[in-house]
Structure 1
Amino acid sequence: MSPVFFLLAATAPAAWGQALLPIAGLTVGAREVQAEVARTPEARSQGLMHRRSLAADHGMLFVFDEDDQHCFWMKNTPLPLSIAFIDAKGRITSIQDMQPYALDTHCPPGPVRYALEMSEGWFKRAGVSVRDTVSPLPPP
């Protein structure tokens, strides 16, 4: 078990009564991140709700079975987040900031297969923008 995973496992979901999700190492633009993978309807519905912190360069990757206009909101989520909507080829199509507890929806400009949530401003600080790529992405 890597030290990064151990730290995440010891301090994150289990501490809030959430099941541990698989961790994927991703390259986002030129940056390396560790992301919990939410691929089931239950995991996607829970998302980062009730989390009070994220480790540096950690986030959550939402994996959907089909390309669609998957929208997100921040109900029960105390962390300010940024979300990158990602198409089936791994290309970022939109990056949006989301405020804690807000019920307004954040939708991609077109169908996507993935979404990656990181701490608010992470994509900007990392120099990641629309049209950059994310890899390797897990299959649906």
Structure 2
Amino acid sequence: MLRGVLALALLTPGLATVAAAYDAAAPNAGVAQTGLATVPLTIQTATGKHRYTVEVAASPQAQETGLMYRRSMPANHGMIFPFSTSRVLTFWMENTWLPLDLVFIGEDGKVVSIAANAKPMSRDIISSQVPARAVLELNGGEAARIGLRPGDKVTYKLPK
């Protein structure tokens, strides 16, 4: 599955060993990815509708790098990691310079859990705790700024 493992490494059961075996000599190691499709995304919270432009990390290769190696991300931007099935998801922040909020989204598009201000460059495991179908990465502190809570609705449409 993953060599460098996401901006936050996705570690699914049985793949933790693969994720840990990051190959620093891999093509694009140390380089932020560009050129991903973007889509509009809306989060409905008690404070209103909040609109974002998010990059779509749909392929295993895009998920492998995610937001690694980026030094900044514009306000109201992020990255969505959609998965084909729901499961407990785990990530880490290795090679990710930005503090990020990880928003875990369930099958029904509702927020199931939030990991706020994930520590940059950390190998600490960040878990959704419950099954999730997608993960949205936003700038650290954004979830608190908009009053995001589990149960809030996230709406987006993936490109074909």
Match of 1:73 in 2: 92
Q: How does 1:1-140 map to 2 (within 5 A)?
A: 16=31, 18-29=33-44, 30-97=49-116, 98-138=118-158
The 3 A distance-change label for structure 1 pair 17 and 51 is closer
Max radius of gyration: which structure? 2
TM-score by length of 1: 0.84
CA deviation after TM superposition for structure 1 residue 139, in Å: 8.1
SS of the residue 1:111 aligns to: strand
The 3 A distance-change label for structure 1 pair 102 and 57 is same
Higher helix share: 1
TM-score by length of 2: 0.74
Higher strand share: 2
Identity %: 37
Uncovered stretches (5+) of structure 2, i.e. residues with no partner: 1-30
Runs of 4+ aligned structure 1 residues displaced above 6 Å come to: none
Q: Separation in 2 of the partners of 1:51 and 1:139?
A: 23
Contact 1:90 1:137 in 2 (8 A): no
Q: Separation in 2 of the partners of 1:77 and 1:99?
A: 9
CA deviation after TM superposition for structure 1 residue 135, in Å: 0.4
Aligned residues: 125
The 3 A distance-change label for structure 1 pair 125 and 34 is same
SS of the residue 1:44 aligns to: helix
Q: Separation in 2 of the partners of 1:47 and 1:17?
A: 8
Q: Separation in 2 of the partners of 1:84 and 1:52?
A: 20
Q: Separation in 2 of the partners of 1:19 and 1:56?
A: 17
Uncovered stretches (5+) of structure 1, i.e. residues with no partner: 1-15
Q: CA RMSD in A?
A: 1.6
SS of the residue 2:91 aligns to: coil
Q: Separation in 2 of the partners of 1:131 and 1:137?
A: 19
